[in-house]
């Protein structure tokens, strides 16, 4: 593993790699969205350190949805105001250039979609959608946020049941078919690029192995350590937003792709 800590050098090496290769799957974690003002869940100021963890427990939600929405009010406001940063825009640009087969994200903030990424798997769901717990009718974040602003508990207009964000709570399982699909994507990729993930949360934590086990290479762009650092072809221990700005700048200058 080659560790690179300088943003400019990392951006140039990444540029050279992307010029030569075009079969990447991308995994993104909280480190991609923090530059947009979205707090992560497990960091020093993460959501689990400023709230009770059982707020995201399914049974707790069913018993007391009011507590969840009381907590979520400020977070949903933040999501509505947030915008994609350079990392989201870089990933979208790479998709446009035909370099990326799929983007697998652990994030639930919807920023990849705001950036325009199309080949996207939101493993843990998204706060951009809400569903009725009874009839599963779908609602948008805007619809739910309006109810919350009016101090109302969001309920289904069809059956009157409580609405739940379309994210995976504790006590819920991720569809095994989705897990198998991610494994297949990673296994068929020449490179797995990890942006801003510590790779400790399952099932995504195991996905890079599928690339490695099929003779693919792993590149990690993350300031913190991960369990896969020693297996990585390259590790860019850099600020993701600054790194992404430099790569985008090189693309604009037609430095390596044209």
Number of CB atoms found within 10 A of residue 133's CB: 17
- Residue 41 has a pLDDT of 61
244 shares a domain with 117: yes
- Residue 53 has a pLDDT of 55
Domain stop point among 137, 167, 197: 167
- Residue 222 has a pLDDT of 97
Domain total in the chain = 2
Rounded Cα distance, 231 and 228, in Å: 5
Rounded Cα distance, 61 and 148, in Å: 16
34 shares a domain with 95: yes
| Residues 181, 184, 190, 194, CA torsion sign | positive
234 shares a domain with 154: no
8 shares a domain with 118: yes
**Is residue 8 over pLDDT 50?**
yes
pLDDT in tens, 29-73: 999 999 999 987 655 544 544 455 567 889 999 999 999 999 888
- Residue 258 has a pLDDT of 44
CATH (domain of 19): 3.40.50.1220
Of 17-21, 192-196, 203-207, the poorest mean pLDDT is in 17-21
Rounded Cα distance, 24 and 230, in Å: 20
pLDDT in tens, 219-254: 999 999 999 999 999 999 999 999 999 999 887 776
What are the distances in angstroms from CA 200 to CA 113, 206, 256?
Answer: 24, 9, 33
Q: What percent of the chain has pLDDT over 90?
A: 79
Q: What percent of the chain has pLDDT over 70?
A: 93
Strand ranges for the chain from DSSP E = 2-4, 24-28, 100-105, 120-122, 125-132, 138-140, 163-167, 191-195, 217-221, 234-236
pLDDT in tens, 110-129: 999 999 999 999 999 999 99
Rounded Cα distance, 200 and 194, in Å: 12
| Main-chain dihedrals φ then ψ at residue 169, nearest 5 degrees | -90, 165
Tell which residue, 137, 136, 105, 131, has the closest CA to residue 118: 105
Rounded Cα distance, 33 and 112, in Å: 9
Nearest 5°: CA angle at 247, between 243 and 253? 145
Tell which residue, 115, 39, 90, 132, has the closest CA to residue 252: 90
Q: Which residue in this structure is represented by tokens 């937003």? A: 241
pLDDT in tens, 129-175: 999 999 999 999 999 999 998 889 999 999 999 999 999 998 899 99
189 shares a domain with 245: yes
Could you tell me the residue range of the domain that residue 114 belongs to? 1-38+84-123+175-258
Rounded Cα distance, 88 and 80, in Å: 16
Catalytic residue among 88, 112, 124, 202: 124
Query: 91 near 16, Cβ under 8 Å?
Result: no
Q: Is 202 a catalytic residue?
A: no
**Is residue 186 over pLDDT 90?**
yes
- Residue 20 has a pLDDT of 87
Domain stop point among 134, 167, 200: 167
253 shares a domain with 216: yes
């Amino acid at each position: 593993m080659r560790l690179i800590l300088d943003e400019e050098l990392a951006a140039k090496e990444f540029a050279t790699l992307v010029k030569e290769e075009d079969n990447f799957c991308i995994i993104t974690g909280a480190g991609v969205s923090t530059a947009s003002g979205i707090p992560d869940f497990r960091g020093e100021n993460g959501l689990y350190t400023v709230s009770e963890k059982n707020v995201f427990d399914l049974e707790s939600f069913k018993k007391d949805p009011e507590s969840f929405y009381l907590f979520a009010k400020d977070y949903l406001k933040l999501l509505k105001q947030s915008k994609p940063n350079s990392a989201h825009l870089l990933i979208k640009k790479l998709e446009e250039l035909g370099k990326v087969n799929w983007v697998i994200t652990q994030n639930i903030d919807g920023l990849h979609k705001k950036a325009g990424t199309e080949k996207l798997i939101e493993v843990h769901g998204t706060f951009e959608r809400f569903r009725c717990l009874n009839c599963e009718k779908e609602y948008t974040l805007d619809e739910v946020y309006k109810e919350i602003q009016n101090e109302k508990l969001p309920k289904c207009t069809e059956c009157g049941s409580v609405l739940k964000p379309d994210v995976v709570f504790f006590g819920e399982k991720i569809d095994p078919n989705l897990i198998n699909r991610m494994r297949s994507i990673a296994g068929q990729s020449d490179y797995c690029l990890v942006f801003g993930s510590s790779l400790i949360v399952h099932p995504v934590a195991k996905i890079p192995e599928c690339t490695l086990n099929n003779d693919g290479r792993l590149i990690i762009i993350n300031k913190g350590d991960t369990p896969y650092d020693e297996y990585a072809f390259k590790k860019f221990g850099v600020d993701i937003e600054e790194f992404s700005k430099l790569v985008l700048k090189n693309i604009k200058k037609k430095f390596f792709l044209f």
